Chain A
Amino acid sequence: MLAAYDGHALVDWSWVADHGDEIVARLREHAVLLGWSMLLALLFAIPLALASLGRRRVYGIVLATTGILYTIPSLAAFSLLLPYTGQSRLTAIIPLAAYSLLILVRNIVTGLERVPTDVQDAATGLGYSRRRKLWQIDVPLALPTIVAGVRIAVVTTIGLISVSALIGQGGLGALMTSGFEKDFYTPLVVGVVLTVAFAIAADALLLGAQKLCTPWARRSVAR
């Protein structure tokens, strides 16, 4: 089957043309894994960050715990889940979400804590309740830092999804491993290029969305 294609050309465009459906399906799978894992990560990161606000000790424990999760290599984390979740998407999604926790919690907390005290005092003086101040003053002002965290998490996750190809998931990573195993450059190169392009596009999209949501922040805030 491969004989028809040039295995050692960097990209054999005829293979790309013949496998358009497969490439699109892998890309979609990559996006689905990204979507679910980011959703799960935010679902846990937001309450953890809110619980850590103004509580140094809780924050320390949360950072230490998510830090240890962050240390576990992805291949090991996927493999440790195999006996429980088998070959379902969850095997990839749970560790991917766990990796994003540290970055998300840290950026949410840092962002909210960096809201200038005088702004907070002014809000309180105007009679804002704590909850209203959080959602209407603190969160919008912290948005650039929070989105910066989401961007790092998204870019990181897009790269990590590929590794889960080794345990039967992987999205675009499955293209990479199949190319590698057949000593056939094209799928590998297509997989790598699309992964990087996906990461850059997602990053740019998030940055654009943040710029739209925070028109007052002319200069983008560093992470």
Chain B
Amino acid sequence: MGAAIGGAVSALATSYFGSVLDWLGDGANWHGTEGVPHRFLEHIQISLVSLVIAVVISVPIGLFFGHLRKGGFVVVNIANLGRAIPSFSILLLAVLLWGIGNPPRVLTSIGIVSFPAFVALVALAIPPVLTNTYIGVSGVDDDVRDAARGMGMNDRQVLQSVELPLATPLIMAGIRTSGVAVVATATLLAYVGGGGLGRFIIDGAAIDYQDPRIFVGALFVALLSVITELSLAAAQRLVVPRALQRAEIDVARTPVPAPAVPL
């Protein structure tokens, strides 16, 4: 009986992968605004815009409070709160309560059709960058700060030439975490009407669970996530001062910035 079930499952899987290959082989699926390349582009644009906005908001705030070494309690708790509230429900709530909210043309042209959903995406990307920037700056050794002051540096110089470079491993780690999280959540954006690669999964699942687009979409999303992780890791190596590259190993083992929620 076990063999019979196994046979049935593998027959099902074979015919399913046949339909997946057929779909991939159909040239029509590779052109136009609903084709694979355009969905890829949308996904990348949505993620990049959200991540950049999140970084622009959170890095200065983290630097400011980190330099003053104040507000750590609030910053860390924002991060923990972000972990307890599932992003999927934030997305659904935002859209249901505030509707589509007529996003400006700039946003609709890159596949963002719901302003509240976009705000939710940016909001989700903020905690890892903010926390890591704060911890990175406020964690700079007192002796190092004193030495910088002793050399006659003012606040701005200490922040710019001492604290910021020393904090880059953690800041970049935060951006990496957020980047991967944004790419993942952008997939869910399709459920609330947005574009991107999640479209394939959601449209396929709307027909039935044997629709080839589900697998195709999932495969591309997984691929894009891994590419994002690897390229942000490469960016991290480029940006982090060479003397601190080895410190990254210690950073990876510091317990404080727990990994963000996978989405």
Contact = CB atoms under 8 A, between A and B. Distances in A.
Interface of A: 67-68, 70-80, 82-84, 86-87, 99, 102-103, 110, 145, 152, 155-156, 158-160, 162-163, 166-168, 173, 176-177, 179-180, 183, 185, 188-189, 191-192, 195-196, 199-200, 203, 222-223
Q: Is the interface of B mostly helix, strand, loop or mixed?
A: helix
Contacts, number: 149
Interface string B44-88: 000000000000000000000000000000000000000111111
Given A188-B93, A200-B84, A74 B222 contact: no
Contact of A83 (B12, B202, B217, B226): B12
Given A83-B215, A191-B89, A196-B85, A75 B259 contact: no
A73 B185 CA distance: 8
Which of A68, A78, A152, A159: most chain B CB closer than 10 A? Answer: A159
B221 A73 contact: yes
A179 B97 CA distance: 12
18 contacts: A70-B262, A71-B229, A72-B226, A72-B262, A74-B184, A75-B187, A76-B219, A77-B222, A82-B214, A83-B12, A83-B17, A83-B210, A84-B9, A152-B83, A155-B83, A166-B191, A179-B92, A196-B86
A79 B261 contact: no
Contacts of A87: 209
B86 A82 contact: no
A77 to B, nearest CB: 7
Nearest to A164: B88
Contacts of A223: 255-256, 258
A159 B215 contact: no
B92 A71 contact: no
Contacts of B17: 83
Interface string B89-120: 10011011100000000000000000000000
A191 B96 CA distance: 14
A110 B255 contact: yes
Interface of B: 9, 12-13, 16-17, 83-89, 92-93, 95-97, 180, 183-185, 187-188, 191-192, 198, 201-202, 205, 209-210, 214-215, 217-219, 221-222, 225-226, 228-229, 253, 255-256, 258-259, 261-263
Contacts of A102: 259
A19 to B, nearest CB: 18
Contacts of A177: 92
A82 B198 CA distance: 15
Contacts of B191: 166
Given A83-B13, A168-B209, A76 B222 contact: yes
Contacts of A67: 229
Which of B85, B86, B226, B262: most chain A CB closer than 10 A? Answer: B262
Contacts of B184: 73-76
A202 to B, nearest CB: 11
Given A83-B12, A83-B210, 10 more contacts: A73-B221, A73-B225, A75-B188, A77-B218, A83-B16, A180-B96, A185-B96, A189-B93, A192-B93, A195-B86
